[in-house]
Structure 1
């Protein structure tokens, strides 16, 4: 097998995951912030900021999951039974949230219930994604290339901590997105939420960054052995600097920079996780090469990605351009 094919597919799946986390993260964050809106017209404005984008954003989840199934079937066969329950809960929450998104506009007499469904689906989906992340990072029990653990191995304090961290991070993305897309009371409330959310996210990142090397020897070796420590030390330093920049931008009244700075924090966090786990796709035992599909299968699917990925990116760029600008009260697309 050509050694580079699994690496290419690993990069594709990694890009799909970070694109999903950033793009669907801010509209899940809108749902998480939904209960903090004081009036129905504020919630209308909040929802209208993501109405043209939310379903397209979830395309990246399909690419990530489908890519794992096609390019790394052995990893898929291990990860799914290990994390089956949080994955199913996440998917059901996303479906329920999507239904609530559509029904809220027409069900006038029961709108409060659909508000609760939208907020609850967003919260549960975000928490489940964090639990899935924590379950992967802490490791999956594998024997003879198959999952050999229990159905609740993922249910640990570390996974719950990751779940809370993702909820806070998505809420921060949602708040900074509202700074770009709204003005008036909605934007003021979003800025008021964003500062404590940023501090909470940085606290969670610090706890996870300390917890992982203490609890998992393989991660401690990766980060603190020589010469790795000299090459990897800039990652946490840059993360702190970006967080301080986001805090400054929030306090100084900037609109766009806090969102892109928050995206930078997510990218840096994802980079840190990639550094901690690569080349293991199923930590701590199965690498990208051990779980990869046959080379002809990877090449065949790679041609499809080469042609379709630019189309998806072009379409998304077009949609974001068409619906650029601020959403004001009474305006929207739904």
Structure 2
């Protein structure tokens, strides 16, 4: 039996991006929530909840981006020129928050307010830029002769801004529910209120983005059953489980927060993101440069894909094992005075 290498690599990159969104999403969310915390001590605890894992979480972004370049070079050559500016914005935000993370703990006391602000700014900037990239990806990229043929600011539209604000709120939800899991006492109560507020905003933006997507691109609308001839219930029903999964996640967040649960709200937030990710995949698969180049057309030769897969088969289990080990070691609650110094 011959392995379908392009499909395998498409799946690996998709999983890498999903893991990045879920894992780095909650620590970006912690930074997004920084301006709402009440004291320096609370911000120290918030930062210490992600200190052991935040840089490892970004490994999945490297794997996803590097895998796209190596496995689907044609898609990479189209998408990078289309999103140069938001990619640079994202990297600037990630660098800024990384520097702020170290300097806030190790810098002089009088500089702490500045680095506290920069950690929040870097987190918001990175999340917002990712939303612009996502929105631009969904609305499609103009391609001619297997080259990007659009304009420099095609990614900057009302639709992409809507997606960007929605993603910031979604990351805020992940961050708040993560803090509910990892903190105690007053900070846990604050995180509960943040989770409820972020959950409402995420639900509203998710609804707005979903409806807007049906207007932005007819192909996506057709896949969900909305065609020029009307609504096809038979096409929509099998896909209806996807929005129901997101609704279930929001209900779990709400009930978990109302009952002051520690773990369930985070699980609900993860379900919301899984639903959104599945909905996106339904809309643009099999395209890797929507809606012009599919993953088979963009794939590297099979001999290159096979060689890379051989190496990945050894490296990926190590990354997964190390990640699981770190989360297990630091699985407990974080209290004031404990953590990174």
- Counterpart of 1:156? 157
Q: CA separation of 1:300/1:3 partners in 2, compared to 1, >3 Å: closer, same or farther?
A: closer
- What TM-score does the superposition give when structure 1 sets the normalisation length? 0.98
| Stretch deviating more after TM superposition (233-242 or 209-218) | 233-242
- Counterpart of 2:229? none
Task: For 1:233 and 1:219, locate their aligned partners in 2 and report how far apart those are by CA, in whole Å.
Answer: 14
Asked if 2 retains the 8 angstrom alpha-carbon contact of 1:71 and 1:293, the reply is yes
Task: For 1:249 and 1:103, locate their aligned partners in 2 and report how far apart those are by CA, in whole Å.
Answer: 35
The secondary structure found in structure 2 opposite 1:230 is: helix
C-alpha displacement of 1:305 = 1.2
Query: Structure 1, residues 131-181: CA drift from partner, whole Å, max 9, x if none?
Result: 000010000000000000111010001111111011001111110001111
Q: Which of 322, 327, 331 in structure 1 is aligned with 2:338? A: 331
Task: For 1:210 and 1:184, locate their aligned partners in 2 and report how far apart those are by CA, in whole Å.
Answer: 39
Asked if 1 retains the 8 angstrom alpha-carbon contact of 2:20 and 2:61, the reply is yes
Asked if 2 retains the 8 angstrom alpha-carbon contact of 1:18 and 1:270, the reply is yes
| Stretch deviating more after TM superposition (236-245 or 288-297) | 236-245
- What TM-score does the superposition give when structure 2 sets the normalisation length? 0.96
Q: Which of 255, 262, 273 in structure 1 is aligned with 2:262? A: 255
Task: For 1:301 and 1:226, locate their aligned partners in 2 and report how far apart those are by CA, in whole Å.
Answer: 42
Task: For 2:60 and 2:247, locate their aligned partners in 1 and report how far apart those are by CA, in whole Å.
Answer: 28
- Counterpart of 1:195? 196
C-alpha displacement of 1:237 = 2.1
Within a 5 Å distance, the mapping from 1:226-265 to structure 2 comes to: 227-265=234-272
The secondary structure found in structure 2 opposite 1:9 is: helix
Name the count of aligned residue pairs.
Answer: 333
Asked if 1 retains the 8 angstrom alpha-carbon contact of 2:245 and 2:272, the reply is no
- Counterpart of 2:89? 89
C-alpha displacement of 1:262 = 0.4
Within a 5 Å distance, the mapping from 1:137-216 to structure 2 comes to: 137-216=138-217
Task: For 1:133 and 1:223, locate their aligned partners in 2 and report how far apart those are by CA, in whole Å.
Answer: 19
C-alpha displacement of 1:227 = 4.1
C-alpha displacement of 1:3 = 8.1
**CA-based RMSD:** 1.1
Within a 5 Å distance, the mapping from 1:10-21 to structure 2 comes to: 10-21=10-21
The secondary structure found in structure 2 opposite 1:289 is: helix
C-alpha displacement of 1:234 = 1.8
